[in-house]
Amino acid sequence: MDTPFTARRITENVWWVGAIDWDLRNFHGYLTSRGTTYNAYLILGSEPILVDTVRAPFYGEMIERIRSVIDPTRIRHVISCHAEMDHSGALPRLLQEITPTSVIASTPGAKALREHFHWDREVQEVKTGERLELGDRFLRFVETRMLHWPDSMFAFLEGDDVLFSNDAFGMHVAGSERFADELPDDLLRHEAAKYYGNILMPFSRLVQRLTDQLPGMGLPIQVIAPDHGPLWRRDTDRILDWYARWARRETRNKAVVIYDSMWKSTTLMARAIGEGLSLGGTKPKLMSLDGSHRSDVATEVLEAAGLLVGSPTMNGQLYPTIADAMTYLKGLRPANLLGGAFGSYGWSGEAVPQIEAILTNEMKARLPAPGVRVRYVPTDEDLATCREMGAAMSAAIHENRKDGEDR
């Protein structure tokens, strides 16, 4: 039977043989509005090599793309750069149907594969700096522990000078375009930022170390081939520069205001805070969580200097959407954050101190203004206090920004 799935040539010896997931909208809590791709790569040579696989249900798509280039049983080596199931899910079935001489992973990768698939199969373990001769192809390896799993690693193909970077430098975008230079710039920057903000932000210190060390590793990178979204064959410095900036958490003169509301009192407060920010010269980004997704909030927080959080008190607790977002954001650990809390209440008003505790204790944020609590419905005076809170945040942002840029 004819198949619609064919491979796409990337360089002289490398073919893209991944899968396009047009329908995916929830990637473990991350809203993937544009779907995604699971990129797998076939390296041709005297001993063909497969780098990573795809999510299990996409096995057939991957195998047909491989078959459009070679008989899959000719694959002699499989490299697993990352054991998360979107890249390893199809591996067990593949290994039932082909008999490669080696499966290669980092030491934590070998362990993770054993623990995922409960197998006792031998996995060849590689370390940073190791160079393998696989037939007439040479590959070098860089372990990238905790970027973003313990097992993560890069593989570099000499000659074609392709860096297989697993999740790093990727983004969730489905489409027929295989290269970044085929997509609009604003889409690339937004989706790369969303990926960084939601997946890599907690590991920014390690990203900074990696982006500092990469130029000195002697890898003449021509193409960056991540496991999601487009590849970078031109301007590879662009994505590396974005990562370096995000890892340092270079911020903009901007504050994100997230809130939800039962009877619109907290909404009125959010709007007044937004006005105060604006009057202070800081760009406000108001996001009602009655409609904004937690992963879009994380994207905005990535380059925001401030985060103001508004919640009504419901049964002595945070409003559910706010609790969800705060649980998510505190795990992402944005560094050097300025914070603030506000909200309306009826008789007990615990939400504001609960938000302040999360901001200060768990997110290590500094609060330039005391929390604002309003009973039932804000008065004009209450709204003036909210405007002052926005202005105080703006002043603290100006003071905090080292470079003085008004970006």
Q: Which stretches of the chain bind ligand FEO, using CB under 6 A? A: 82, 84, 86-87, 148-149, 167, 227-228
Alpha carbon distance 223, 157 (integer Å): 10
CB of 192 or CB of 287, closer to ligand FEO = 192
CB of 44 or CB of 83, closer to ligand FEO = 83
Q: Report in angstroms how near the CB of residue 212 gets to ligand FEO at its nearest.
A: 23
The torsion angles phi and psi of 227, rounded to 5 degrees, stand at -90, -5
Active-site option among 61, 84, 227, 303: 84
Q: Report in angstroms how near the CB of residue 70 gets to ligand FEO at its nearest.
A: 25
Type of residue at 241: D
Active-site option among 87, 172, 228, 293: 228
Q: Report in angstroms how near the CB of residue 82 gets to ligand FEO at its nearest.
A: 6
CB of 148 or CB of 194, closer to ligand FEO = 148
Does 228 participate in catalysis according to the annotation? Answer: yes
Q: Report in angstroms how near the CB of residue 107 gets to ligand FEO at its nearest.
A: 18
Does 28 participate in catalysis according to the annotation? Answer: yes
Active-site option among 86, 151, 191, 227: 86
N-term to C-term CA, the chain: 55
Alpha carbon distance 24, 335 (integer Å): 30
Q: Report in angstroms how near the CB of residue 362 gets to ligand FEO at its nearest.
A: 24
Of all residues in the shown chain, the one whose CB is closest to ligand FEO is 84
Here the tokens at position 315 are 């049964």
Q: Which residues contact 372 (CB under 8 A, 6 or more apart)?
A: 269, 341, 342, 343, 352, 382, 385, 386, 389
Does 84 participate in catalysis according to the annotation? Answer: yes
Active-site option among 59, 87, 143, 148: 148
Q: Report in angstroms how near the CB of residue 199 gets to ligand FEO at its nearest.
A: 7
Does 148 participate in catalysis according to the annotation? Answer: yes
Under a CB-based contact definition with an 8 Å cutoff, are residues 269 and 389 in contact?
Answer: no
Type of residue at 407: R
Long-range contacts of 188-194, Cβ-Cβ distance < 8 Å, separation of 24 or more: 188/230, 189/242, 190/299, 191/34, 191/229, 192/239, 192/242, 193/242, 193/246, 193/299, 193/302, 193/303, 194/30, 194/295, 194/296, 194/298, 194/299
Q: Report in angstroms how near the CB of residue 167 gets to ligand FEO at its nearest.
A: 4
Alpha carbon distance 43, 50 (integer Å): 6
CB of 144 or CB of 321, closer to ligand FEO = 144
The β-bridge partners of 131 are 140
> Quick count: other Cβ atoms within 10 Å of Cβ 218?
7
Alpha carbon distance 315, 312 (integer Å): 10
CB of 145 or CB of 401, closer to ligand FEO = 145
CB of 108 or CB of 343, closer to ligand FEO = 108
Taking the CA atoms of the chain, what radius of gyration do you get in angstroms?
24
Active-site option among 167, 296, 300, 356: 167
Does 167 participate in catalysis according to the annotation? Answer: yes
Type of residue at 265: S
Alpha carbon distance 305, 302 (integer Å): 9
Please count the residues of the chain. Answer: 407
CB of 92 or CB of 370, closer to ligand FEO = 92
Active-site option among 2, 12, 28, 403: 28
Catalytic residues: 28, 82, 84, 86, 148, 167, 195, 228
